[in-house]
Structure 1
């Protein structure tokens, strides 16, 4: 881990650079704010290209708005262990971008002919190019970079939220939004339009539409987009038989966020025969929804090709090895009485969360724990119990096989409690952590050895 203090315009920021985040739970990136995730599969590995929210610069009228100055790229081969490859593009090194605009919004990336093309919107410093936003391209030999920024934005494009799609016949398309959603063909060089932009009609006229993301499945083209039907965005989709439409509005992929996060923005990929929805929420910044964090959940289809609505989870996707730190606060289920989740440190959300069990039989469950095939002998629990406490750990159901009984000594400091396993069951299971004494027990994580 590297820690660096950055001073800009008299404001100091402590930035933590982590080489990896071993997290299968939501949100998947915990060392910085991330939003607008564009996920791609390159060479059997997932590469994630999100935008990068930062704390706002109050002296630039950003105190209540989005502040974004650069992009990072992350990758994983298992949806569980994510590597931060570092910053790939920053506003101060893009020739056409206004360097103090902090408007490096939602990007995308695509591979073609051994090159990787990274598309990003921003505010041009030359207003004769465009008022508002336009879209530029950076090119690399590897998905993690380094990227070489093209000197000029794409001619004929005004707007935000670029998305690129390459059809089976090799034709590439660019999609973007500016009040409405537009699409056009791209030339082979991937940096110029090959056709006039098409405005997609028959989409909802009421409310903001943005963030187009197009994918194809079984010959059907899905145009997906965030839309403000009421007060905040939900994810919707339309279906068609051609990359440039027409599209028929079909349904909702994900409802409005229960916590009121105003935006959502997404991508959809298939990886190892499973489809996934990448999206964002403001988990790490509950009081300011302009600092957001990327999530993943599974996506499935009905027999007629329509999309089943995705219910957002904290648990996320992927299995967690029993020998890893299992963050029970990213739970699958939580008892309705006596169980809750809170930040470990209200002043520093990046430290994560804790689970609080404060009543007899209060529980938290967490599925997808892989116990492997080699016998494990004990469980370790990072816990805090001011007056002492006790928990049981069971598998598969709340009254399932008992793995361990753990006593937590009294005290006001976090401590490691451990107990021998009473039973070992190989394979992948849900675990249940249950309060047995009723006195409050706080749990940071558990692991098995």
Structure 2
């Protein structure tokens, strides 16, 4: 009880998420869209960037980065490619994906994962533009690469994404750098990223690190306290009051939490959450102001990956410092539900249209 500071219903960083369809980026056979970026507003429109491919083997590899715009955050219009794969033999020849936007110093920056053919390691690349509509200019080299240790059994035989086949386990971020996102904080640029070690399991052992630079383009120096989180599948940080809040979703012993840090490095659990948006990208109006007065957010997009083609959905929440929270029990029937029953009710002798008759 000494650790019990406040009930979740009274916790300022507690919320429940509500989902709804959007147009223009929804389910479309033949097209995968996933991993949406933070949403920004420019030219009186909302902008979002995301991974897109038309591949039946993977929804995130063999991909390019596209963007879309919207007047209201619900009806989206796909505009085309923003950053595409590099020339044969380049470090980004196979895929550019899982991107995040940064607005700084009068320019727009996209940081993203990149892969070369038959190489299990991922690097972080960057492109910049004078306008959110581009054209985008890639930096010649990655801004962050894996820690160079650990030994794969045979890199050419495990070339797409399997860095678990190893004769020697490497550092926590030796295998791949995923989900990069840059935010200005305390006058510097904090690049958060997810890391995997060579020789460890593919998804369940992910951790977060941070690298810091004086300029958006780098050079980025890893913080000595890394990893700064022992959990989380996608990195998701936003300004909150004078510090930084982090939504730590699936994977790891502290999954399903919101954590807070005054310095952007040392995070403490504040509350737990349910049904967190997968790879959520929120509209955070003050994300790039670095004004020590973070207000939070109330809506965004996420991806749904449980179907044959991945697509984007909208969500709303109550992660703002002002206003009432919608925590009505009847709107969120989590307790006493079993997800296996929700997924396949017929297996348990229950008709799908009877699932929520008691709610």
Could you say which TM-score interval applies, normalised by the shorter chain? 0.5 to 0.7
Indicate if the aligned counterparts of 1:202 and 1:249 stay in contact, CA closer than 8 A: no
Higher RCO (CA < 8 A, seq sep 6+): 2
CA deviation after TM superposition for structure 1 residue 190, in Å: 2.2
- Helix, strand or coil at the partner of 1:270: coil
1:126 to 1:138, Cα distance in 2 relative to 1, 3 A: farther
Give the structure 1 partner of residue 298 of structure 2.
275
Aligned residues: 263
Indicate if the aligned counterparts of 1:253 and 1:309 stay in contact, CA closer than 8 A: no
Superposed, 1:39-438 pairs within 5 Å as 39-43=38-42, 44-56=44-56, 62=57, 66-93=60-87, 96-97=90-91, 99=93, 101=94, 103-124=95-116, 132-156=121-145, 159-167=177-185, 169-179=186-196, 180-194=207-221, 196=223, 198-201=225-228, 203-204=230-231, 209-228=232-251, 236-243=257-264, 245-255=265-275, 264-271=278-285, 275-282=298-305, 286=307, 288=308, 291-301=309-319
CA deviation after TM superposition for structure 1 residue 114, in Å: 1.9
CA deviation after TM superposition for structure 1 residue 201, in Å: 4.3
Question: Residues 57-94 of structure 1: CA distance to partner in whole angstroms, max 9, x if unpaired?
Answer: xxxxx3x6743421111122321332222111122448
Indicate if the aligned counterparts of 1:91 and 1:97 stay in contact, CA closer than 8 A: no
Unaligned runs of at least 5 residues, structure 1: 1-23, 57-61, 258-263, 314-336, 341-449
1:55 and 1:176 map into 2 onto residues whose CA distance is 25
1:155 to 1:25, Cα distance in 2 relative to 1, 3 A: closer
2:145 and 2:326 map into 1 onto residues whose CA distance is 36
- Which range moved further: 145-154 or 37-46? 37-46
CA deviation after TM superposition for structure 1 residue 202, in Å: 5.7
- Helix, strand or coil at the partner of 1:166: strand
1:174 to 1:83, Cα distance in 2 relative to 1, 3 A: same
1:98 to 1:107, Cα distance in 2 relative to 1, 3 A: closer
2:328 and 2:255 map into 1 onto residues whose CA distance is 11
CA deviation after TM superposition for structure 1 residue 239, in Å: 1.1
CA deviation after TM superposition for structure 1 residue 194, in Å: 4.6
Indicate if the aligned counterparts of 1:200 and 1:246 stay in contact, CA closer than 8 A: no
Question: Residues 361-391 of structure 1: CA distance to partner in whole angstroms, max 9, x if unpaired?
Answer: xxxxxxxxxxxxxxxxxxxxxxxxxxxxxxx
Question: Residues 348-372 of structure 1: CA distance to partner in whole angstroms, max 9, x if unpaired?
Answer: xxxxxxxxxxxxxxxxxxxxxxxxx
Query: Which has the larger strand fraction?
Result: 1
- Which range moved further: 132-141 or 291-300? 291-300
- Helix, strand or coil at the partner of 2:211: strand
1:309 and 1:124 map into 2 onto residues whose CA distance is 46
Q: CA RMSD in A?
A: 3.9
CA deviation after TM superposition for structure 1 residue 126, in Å: 9.7
Task: Give the TM-score, by structure 1 length.
Answer: 0.50
CA deviation after TM superposition for structure 1 residue 265, in Å: 1.1
1:308 and 1:172 map into 2 onto residues whose CA distance is 34
1:268 and 1:159 map into 2 onto residues whose CA distance is 22
CA deviation after TM superposition for structure 1 residue 304, in Å: 11
Task: Give the TM-score, by structure 2 length.
Answer: 0.61
